[in-house]
Structure 1
């Protein structure tokens, strides 16, 4: 049955700039509005329309991300992924607990969105939550995390990256992670990485993939660890 809330949501979704008074009313009825928007999100086929629903969810739950908590275990992975996106757009540290719940989702695309969402939230709590992904079973997640590491030195991240470089995994995926880790260590100028990178740069390699690591290590040493610095 169509309600006043449904009519207001429809108006807001169609409006290029929703009037503030309407948004205020939606927030007053946040529980019902979030439930309706989640239902629409599950069944909406259009990507642009889904994005607008997510933006409206972020607007409605901006003052209290807790409105999204009842839907974290939604059976549709794409709803869970969009909830992670919404929590990232809200940028409220109070949403970190919900993102930690979603970080355990079995779907790779949900966890990847959680990584992106946590990066948007300032503070040590979000950085600590990101460290959970150091041990994610999917190498694509670990690669995504490495590629997004900032240039600011982080001792925990540096130790994790050094461990990747030192590991005996020379599979295609393992070598790709090592190359990315070397580049990230160079970006943050991690002093503890220099000895291991020097060994990689000097070592005689047989495997072609491993020789790429030698080139990466030499490039990192020239970029971040040269004697001129």
Structure 2
């Protein structure tokens, strides 16, 4: 008799196997033998976004502004396909920088569908166990367990903030008022200090208007009252 873990694995394989999009990682094969569970994906030359965003040495980043925006655009297209191009739609539930893989041309490939949930159109799903990564999880999802594509939109907004600032979503090494990236960025905007949020490791700063548009887009993603 098939156990729950085996059933979950089969569902995951079926979910990933039917998804085909240039900004989603492709599943090449899988193994399910005894206690062994393995998924085989296409190789991504530039590893994942987290590796390139967060440096211990503070060196100038190899990701300039245009490359970062290119990666974000690809990520958005991949998520839009999951939300709007499939029936039932797929909510990823764990959008974060380490789950954005990068090919040799810095094209984004959204990966790790291990937490993905299939949803019928216009549906929400109430879960008894909140899934995702701390710092990226939408507060309303964490509070109510109500899951829909807005959960991914919030996580994407945090990712945009991460790209703009070079900071992690939660950083306990910083002063108390700066630990939470979302709250810190909101406060900086309210104080008209947008220019100060830019990642200091960027090779070159974008024009002020471009930066402000990116920040506004990020804030709309994390705003529970924003229009769809």
TM-score (norm 2): 0.27
Larger Rg: 1
The structure whose RCO (Cα within 8 Å, separation 6+) is larger is: 2
TM-score (norm 1): 0.27
